């Protein structure tokens, strides 16, 4: 029987979602706890791979069991009792055997938080910007993302993916108090893609490049042409749609 598990985590202390040979990951910690609770070696497949230091508000993974979970709420309680404070389980529910956490997902949504005011309370969850940004220009540049599907310029090089094509459905900056929040939704994302897009849009915002130059960067299909990736700590996976 196949189940989906919905959970959240603070990525600060982890080397990303995926199991690493010599580093601690969210997947390894969660797999160990679930295998202990079920007394069965669980194999988890996540909806995506978040990089080291990236957080998730609504992450989904699937796993298979040879038996039925009679009371999922008790399992959630036991898992939350075992897991460290920076990983929290919301729910576990049965799905069709054909459902796949990664391949059945229709879209993923990320948010990136930029702090425009110094605060001792948000350093782990946002990137601090000390210069003025032109939000209108940044949103004008963000709209050009809808005109393309090949985002090689914003991808980490030498990855194992077969294509760098993605369909972006939403990309917009919003002001929320002392924060600038970039929300982006797409059918899939490349490694480091959101952080590279944000870093390059910030270059537009501070006047280092124009909107047209941002478009040229996309068309160049050259990661070296784009801006620096912003820190992982400001990035959150906030939704996965099926």
One pLDDT digit (tens) per residue for the chain, 242 residues = 999 999 999 999 999 999 988 899 999 999 999 999 999 999 999 999 899 999 999 999 999 999 999 999 999 999 999 999 999 999 999 999 999 999 999 999 999 999 999 888 888 899 999 999 999 999 999 999 999 999 999 998 766 778 899 999 999 999 999 999 999 999 999 999 999 999 999 999 999 999 999 999 999 999 999 999 999 999 999 999 99
pLDDT at 158: 64
pLDDT at 122: 83
pTM of structure: 0.94
CA quadruple 42, 47, 52, 55: dihedral sign: negative
pLDDT at 120: 87
The 3 state secondary structure assigned to 171-229 is: EEEEEECCEEEEEEEECCCCCCHHHHHHHHHHHHHCCCCCHHHHHHHHHHCCHHHCCCC
Alpha helical stretches, state H, the chain:
26-38, 72-82, 135-143, 193-205, 211-220
Dist. CA 59–CA 52, nearest whole Å = 15
Q: From the candidates 23, 51, 122, 187, which is the catalytic residue?
A: 51
- Specify whether 222 is catalytic: no
DSSP annotation of 121 reads T
Q: Which residues on adjacent β-strands are paired with residue 95?
A: 2
């Amino acid at each position: 029987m196949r189940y989906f598990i919905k959970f959240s985590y603070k990525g600060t202390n982890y080397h990303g979602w995926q199991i690493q040979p010599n580093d601690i990951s969210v997947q390894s910690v969660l797999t160990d706890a679930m295998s202990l609770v079920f007394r069965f070696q669980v194999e988890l497949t996540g909806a995506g791979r978040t990089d080291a230091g990236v957080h998730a508000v609504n992450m989904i993974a699937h796993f298979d069991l040879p038996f039925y979970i009679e009371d999922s709420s008790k399992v959630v309680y036991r898992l939350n009792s075992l897991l460290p404070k920076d990983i929290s389980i919301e729910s576990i529910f049965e799905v069709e055997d054909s459902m796949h956490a990664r391949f059945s997902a229709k879209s993923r949504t990320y948010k990136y938080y930029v702090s425009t005011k110094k605060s001792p309370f948000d350093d782990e969850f946002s990137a601090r910007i000390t210069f003025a940004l032109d939000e209108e220009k940044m949103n004008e540049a963000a709209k050009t993302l809808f005109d393309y599907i090949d985002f090689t310029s914003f991808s980490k090089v030498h990855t194992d993916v077969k294509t760098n094509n993605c369909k972006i459905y939403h990309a917009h900056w919003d002001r929320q108090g002392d924060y600038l929040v970039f929300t982006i939704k797409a059918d899939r994302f490349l490694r480091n893609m959101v952080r590279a897009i944000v870093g390059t849009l910030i270059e537009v915002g501070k006047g280092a490049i124009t909107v047209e130059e941002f478009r040229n960067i996309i068309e160049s299909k050259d990661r070296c042409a784009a801006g620096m990736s912003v820190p992982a700590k400001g990035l959150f996976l906030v939704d996965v749609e099926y």
